[in-house]
Amino acid sequence: MALAFIVVLCFMGCKGESFPPLTFEESAKRQATQVKTFEAEDKAGIGTTSTADESAPSGAVTPENVENKVKLIKTAQIRCQVKDYKSSRAAIGKMVERYGAYIASENETNTGYSVENNISIRVRCAQFDELVEQLLSEASYLNYRNINLQDITEEFVDIEARLDTKREVEKRYFGILKQAKTIEDILAVEGELRVIREEIEATAGRLRYISDRVDFSTINLAIYQTVEGKPAPGMGFFGKIARALRGGWRGILGFIIALAYIWPIILVIAAIIVLIKIARRRGKGRQQ
């Protein structure tokens, strides 16, 4: 009943238009086809050579908007030795602040023979290369530097197209909801709206995540300094004696507590021993 109502409203809503009525599935497919057509036209226009002027239409493909369509995720993996860890760490902090970046995570370890810090830095894509060069200036020895560029333009455009299609379908459902008369029809349309809304939120979340990865590149920097052998402070002779005394005292307390738990068994064993002794004495007395 509710499904029939939705289909009828689709036909009624499209009655006054110049094109035949569409179901929601057909509308979504048409929207996706239009998006792909626009993308194909954009790609076809990229290979053409033309001179941009003021008479060019606002939707024309230019080098500027072509560059904006390219989505790259930049990542750097760097490991290097520094002369003085403290001064280098302070200098890195100032670099990060100067380039408007931020430290996402930091993990410092000290083995006694070396001190090392693994720093994850997020920086805007435009300042990525320059910040990398500045960070390398602190290195006294470079172990490795790996730069990775991941082109996700196709995925980004595809998600955008899917999101636009889902929003168009949502608009049609809202139009049908306004024409619903019975509670059954309203609940049916609201159920479909809830599903499409969840899909829109999931798709939009994925798009925001990708946009963040594109806008802010990641630099994973590991710096370390080797120092003269300074093992971690251990426990001396008197410290070991004190630890042994504490351990012995804990052992005595544990033994007393264990006896408290098994006192009924001890009482039974003592009673049995007393009875055996009494029985032996009586046996000897009879023999005499």
Identify whether the C-beta of residue 142 lies closer than 8 Å to the C-beta of residue 136. yes
The pLDDT assigned to 141 comes to 92
Identify whether the C-beta of residue 223 lies closer than 8 Å to the C-beta of residue 116. yes
What b/e sequence results for 57-84 when a residue is b if at least 16 CB atoms lie within 10 Å of its CB, and e otherwise? eeeebeeeeeeeeebebbebebbbbbee
The pLDDT assigned to 142 comes to 93
Q: Residues of the chain with pLDDT > 70: what percent?
A: 70
pLDDT at 120 over 60: yes
pLDDT mean over 124-137: 91
114-144-93 Cα angle (round to 5)? 60
Cα 143 to chain centroid, rounded: 28
- On the 0-12 / 13-18 / 19+ scale of CB atoms within 10 A, 158 is middle
177 to each of 30, 31, 137, 186, how far by Cα in Å? Answer: 22, 21, 63, 6
Max intra-chain CA distance, the chain: 139
Task: Specify the pTM.
Answer: 0.50
pLDDT mean over 75-85: 93
